[in-house]
Amino acid sequence: MSRQSVARAHQKIQELSWEPAYHEPVSHYGTDYTFQKAKKKDPLKQVLRSYFPMQEEKDHRVYGAEDGAIRGNMFRQVQERWLEWQKLFLSIIPLPEISAARAMPLLFRTVPNPELHNGQAIQMIDEVRHSTIQQNLKRLYMNNYIDPAGFNSSLRNFQSDYCCGTIGRQFAEGFITGDAITAASIYLTIVAETAFTNTLFVAMPAEAAANGDYLLPTVFHSVQSDESRHISNGYATLLMALSDETNHQLLARDLRYAWWNNHRVVDAAIGTFIEYGTKDRRKDRESYAEMWRRWIYDDYYRSYLVPLEKYGLEIPHDLIEEAWNQIWNKGYVHEVAQFFATGWLANYWRIDAMTDKDFEWFEYKYPGWYDRYGKWWENYNRLATPNGHNPIVFEDVDYVYPHRCWTCMVPCLVRARTWWSTRSTASGGPTATRNAGGPTRSRSGRRTRADRPRTWAS
Ligand SMILES: [Fe+2]
Ligand SMILES: [Fe+2]
């Protein structure tokens, strides 16, 4: 389709939408936001005639890769440590995807902009596709992996798993619950998709490939390549909301809520998969903290959010700094992994013990890690051999099982004893670098192990 005819078709589609004159439309999904009926440009023009051939091509590549994985005997070569965590991940992720599809109709009535309706309708189809190809991937793992238990029962397990199930559900249902704009726009498109899909759908597939799973990256890059359109939907809606001052307080409230909840849930899950599900312990491979710093702190926070401040967007700087602080100084990801492993007997996936090679990598990437977590993982190794002892959760290994936070559902893992307060001061800390630029540890100018302070406060 030529560019001109795409533009014409795009114009035509908007003429198809109309305001019914024969009845007063009922607003199913309310919002406190106010939108002027202003003409705003669709930021990423897409029409169905050009959309379907493109998606078809992407699907062909996914199914081609699946065929290749079976023929190439990928399932016998993939790292077991990695694929076990996929039993958890692939039981959760199709739900947020289908929730994202269900979120789009919340916006049709609340955002009065036919150009954007087009983008939202296309996003809805995307999200159904994402959910479908991810479930299909899980089915393929189930059929071909040497230990299918956990893949076969993932949906049932997910719904009856008190811990992961409730966290996953409250996260996914956040896209469709409450105020339409809060849920479907701020929580889903502006925070979950724009900030966190980078670690979800880009960093995680890279780790999968490093562990011999080249199928998951094909599927998830097929997903991620749709996100640029979804991010544009969110951005256009955000600009519309910002143009009316009465929305500014709502935006401030919603960004705080959406940011913190996304950080708690996505960083817990993806951080753990990437750091504890991998066998790739190359020193130059980025840690989750390094990826987060690059993709979320620099690319999302500093490049996307901060420039909107001059238009009246109140940014939750304190919560963004605290999220980094949690990851870098308070061991958030390590606490989550330890929690998962403590509860291994209730899980439907196996959690591999950490070896000396892992210890060394953790200590290199997170100096002080061994003092804080090394002993516990040694106990985990010791108790992996059945010889009359109890599962680790019932043994005295200096671990207190946490209660849960009723905001994000994630257990309250970060307690005073996990803080590593000396590190942020010694490294200058992320707060100091926010305006000056540069992560705490730049990729080029990484300090040596010996330079770094290494005392986890206990
Ligand atoms: Fe999606
Ligand atoms: Fe999406």
Give the CATH architecture of domain 40-272. Orthogonal Bundle (1.10)
In this prediction, residue 431 carries a pLDDT of 38
230 CA from centroid of ligand 2 (Å): 5
Ligand 2 center to 271 CA (angstroms): 20
Ligand nearest 233 Cα, by number? 2
DSSP H helices in 243-374: 248-262, 268-276, 288-292, 317-328, 332-342, 356-365, 369
Look up residue 198 and give its two tokens.
């980078």
Distance 308 CA to ligand 1 centre (A): 25
SS3 411: strand
Closest CA to 305 of 371, 364, 352, 258: 258
Distance from Cα 226 to the centre of ligand 2, integer Å? 7
Cβ–Cβ < 8 Å for 234, 190: yes
Half-sphere exposure of 31 (CA within 13 A, CB side): 24
Beta bridge mates, 411: 404
Give the separation between CA 11 and CA 32, rounded to whole angstroms.
30
Crossing angle of helices 375-382 and 332-342, rounded to 10°: 20
Separation of 305 CA from ligand 1 center, angstroms? Answer: 22
CA dist 394 and 316 (Å) reads 40
pLDDT for residue 39: 62
Ligand nearest to the CA of 193: 2
Summarised one tens digit per residue, pLDDT across range 236-261 is 999 999 999 999 999 999 999 999 99
DSSP 370-406: IIIIIHHHHHHHHTTS-SS---GGGS-SS-----B-T
Q: Which ligand is nearest to the CA of 93?
A: 1
What pLDDT is recorded for position 10?
Answer: 72
Measured from the alpha carbon of residue 96, the closest ligand is: 1
Residue extents of the structural domains in the chain: 40-272
Walking along the chain (458 residues) 10 residues at a time, the average pLDDT comes out as 69 70 78 80 67 92 94 92 95 95 92 84 95 95 94 87 86 95 97 94 92 94 92 93 96 98 96 97 96 96 97 97 96 96 92 96 96 96 88 89 88 75 43 36 39 39
